[in-house]
Chain A
Amino acid sequence: MTKDQIERLLAAFKDAKVPEINDDASVMEAFVNMSAFATTFAEVGLVANGTGFTQAIGQLVKEKRMPAAIAEHASEFEDLLLQGEYRFASGDIDVEREITEAYETLIDALRSWANTLEATA
């Protein structure tokens, strides 16, 4: 990867806010953020255009270009987001903390990965 590509990745993750995910609106923000990350992955040439976020992470891990732990974090986060739809509706308050923590973990892991790329570029 070129330095410019890495800088674009770093910028994408640096700008990613980790809001408290406590309602449907914040879950939707997170889903759209994931699409924006997927867009960045494609723009810097890591994956083909149209590849979704989780699919992109899976591909990069398979190609050994990204630590496997990130795929686990991504999968856990996406799963929790999907659960959020009915867990918020059914009054399950634990879901807020679980989703926010999973998002934080995922973004931290992606930032670390991008920093590693920068350090080794």
Chain B
Amino acid sequence: MDHLIAEAHKRVTAEGLTLDTLFAASDEVVIFGSRAAGCAASDSDIDILVFGEGLRLKSERLDLVCIPARLAGSPEWLDSELAGHVAAHGVWIHGQRRWTPRLGSASSVARKRSLIAAEYGATMRRWQALAPWARAKHLTSVLRNLQRLAILDRGGAVPPTPVLEAAVEASPDYNILLLSVAARMNAAGFCGAPIIATDDRSAAHA
């Protein structure tokens, strides 16, 4: 844990804050995401969660997520995907966990479904306005969220993104996989979006 605290200290200080400021503002300070799970790339940011007010900060080095303290024990927080992830993969560097997430809640599953439908639908509607790299970016995001949905649906905690990426890296042709996901969603009438031409291989060329 010491190396995580040292890394957090370095990055928080670089943004003009101190860990002491965070500790004073919240009963719980948690490092989560790929750094906490030990699967971060060298250029990954560090994700820190605090329960407090007005501490939100996002930069290339640091993603400081601030959940209003009044929501710490609320159903909205306990049912959220983030709460499940933080409880399972987070490392508390200040205080201790005083809440228990409700994994696989109906609301988190419904929210994820809605998110997938929204991104897929928006991507299909703007298909002609998107360059191939942008189409691939959003289809990849849909694929990641489908992976997360599958985990939430069986009551699991969603792991950091690199773990999800590794799970599909074994695919012999990632571009074909993306097209396959899109085709299946179209076939299932997932969001009423128009059909993708199956020969449009440019869709998945990043």
Contact = CB atoms under 8 A, between A and B. Distances in A.
Given A28-B119, A28-B122, A31-B119, A36 B134 contact: yes
A92 B68 CA distance: 8
A22 interface: no
A91 B76 contact: yes
A28 B80 contact: no
Contact of A49 (B58, B79, B115, B131): B131
B131 A91 contact: no
A90 B130 contact: no
Interface size class on chain A is 20 to 34
Contacts of A25: 114-115, 117-118, 121-122
A89 interface: yes
B182 to A, nearest CB: 14
A49 B130 CA distance: 11
Interface string A47-84: 00110000000000000000000000000000100110
A101 interface: no
Contact of B82 (A31, A32, A89): A89
A77 B137 CA distance: 19
Contacts of B138: 31-32, 35
Given A86-B65, A89-B80, A36 B114 contact: no
Contacts of A39: 129-131, 134
Contact of B71 (A28, A43, A82, A91): A91
B105 to A, nearest CB: 11
Contacts of B28: none
Nearest to B49: A86
Nearest to A34: B134
B133 A36 contact: no
| Nearest 3 interchain pairs by C-beta | A25-B118, A35-B134, A28-B118
Given A83-B58, A89-B77, 6 more contacts: A12-B129, A25-B118, A28-B115, A85-B82, A90-B74, A91-B71
Interface of A: 12, 23-29, 31-33, 35-36, 38-40, 42-43, 49-50, 79, 82-83, 85-86, 89-92
